[in-house]
Amino acid sequence: MSLIIAGRFQTFRAAETAAQKLFARGFLEEDVTLFFVNPSGQHARHPIGGDVGTDAGASGAPKGAGKGVTIGAVVGAVIGAAIFAVFKAPLLVSVIAAGVGAYVGSLVGAMSHTKKKPHGAAQAEEPARHAGVLVAVHVSPETHDQAAAVLREAGGMDIERASGRWQQGRWSDFDPLKPPQPAGEFAQSRV
């Protein structure tokens, strides 16, 4: 595994300026790479997009839907039986009422077990990393502090230290979902 120092920039121009400063300090072109990190949730980890299989707030929805189906079917059957008894309607009306009740109950049950972020509340989960242009530098233990200092001086944010695979001049096993590991004194973040 290789030692990597990276910093996030708002624009490609700022990232390219940082890369030029790294080159001026003796870092080689094959040891510096720039790439854009998409916003959280937009990394297309699934065939239809997104980063996670299910929303954390929807985890209780199936249980709620099950409860709702049961309660809705019972209420629908009672209403259907009442319609059958009072209006001498066909038995099919009772069955339809039970089905409609089960359907409506499942919707109400699922929605009642879905967690919603209160208006104005802070987001419960902080994104793994912020979007932006990442400048990654393949460093040695002797040069990692220098690389972090150059990135910070150039306006880099979220300066991180990572252990990864550096192949053909790039960070080949970069995972945008993995939270960055701050690089000590250079880690202070600015949004």
The pTM of the whole model exceeds 0.75: no
Phi, psi of 26 (to 5 degrees): 105, 0
Give domain status of residue 143, yes or no. Answer: yes
List beta partners, residue 7: 135
Given a cut of 50, is residue 73 above it in pLDDT?
Answer: yes
Give domain status of residue 191, yes or no. Answer: no
Phi, psi of 109 (to 5 degrees): -65, -45
**Residue 44 and residue 134 in one domain:** yes
Q: Provide the 8-state DSSP code for 186.
A: G
Number of domains in the chain: 2
More confident residue, 184 or 34: 34
CATH number of residue 140's parent domain: 3.30.70.260
Give domain status of residue 118, yes or no. Answer: no
Indicate if the alpha-carbon torsion angle 136, 137, 141, 146 is positive or negative.
Answer: negative
Give domain status of residue 139, yes or no. Answer: yes
pLDDT of residue 32: 96
Give the residue from 149, 144, 142, 140 showing the smallest Cα distance to 161. Answer: 144
pLDDT of residue 120: 46
Q: What's the CA angle centered on 141, arms 172 and 161, to 5 degrees? A: 50
Q: What percent of the chain has pLDDT over 70?
A: 80
Give domain status of residue 11, yes or no. Answer: yes
What is the span of the domain harbouring residue 39?
A: 2-51+130-186
Give domain status of residue 21, yes or no. Answer: yes
Give domain status of residue 119, yes or no. Answer: no
**Residue 45 and residue 65 in one domain:** no
Q: Which helix (H) or strand (E) holds 167?
A: strand 166-167
**Residue 167 and residue 140 in one domain:** yes
Q: What is the average pLDDT score of the chain? A: 81
